[in-house]
Amino acid sequence: MSYTVRVEPGAVGDLDAALDYYAAIGSHLALALGDEFYATAHALKLFPNSHRAVYRQVRRVGLPSFPYLVYYAVGAGVVRVLAVLPERQDPAKTQRVLGRRAA
């Protein structure tokens, strides 16, 4: 079964901020980050339950070449991408973000 991947507005903002950061360093890095996010979203479409839950029903997967984690929830045929956050972010801040967005 193939799921629909929906990137929530908060996650779009997170991704935009990361893209802006890497674009300031070099456009090739922003393009690579975008490609990795797209590839990860495609993998979630096919195998959404391949990662464990880390907060309530929220799961996470890391981007292979960038220090970012994609947080998502799986529903009936839908994968909701809730956040794209730095790996080294304060865990309490991550929980606050997920608590607001997972509701």
The stretch 86-93 carries a mean pLDDT of 94
Q: What is the DSSP pairing of strand 78-86 with strand 68-74?
A: antiparallel
d(CA 9, CA 53): 21
pLDDT tens-digit series, residues 27-66: 999 999 999 999 999 999 999 999 999 988 999 999 999 9
Q: CB 75: neighbour CB atoms within 10 A?
A: 12
Per-residue model confidence (pLDDT) at position 7: 97
Q: CB 29: neighbour CB atoms within 10 A?
A: 16
DSSP 8-state secondary structure symbol assigned to residue 99? H
d(CA 55, CA 33): 25
Give all domains of the chain, ordered by start, each with its CATH number: 4-101 (3.30.2310.20)
- Written as six digits, the tokens of 45 are 């479409």
Q: Does position 1 have pLDDT exceeding 90, yes or no?
A: no
Work out the mean pLDDT of the chain and round it to a whole number. 95
Per-residue model confidence (pLDDT) at position 103: 77
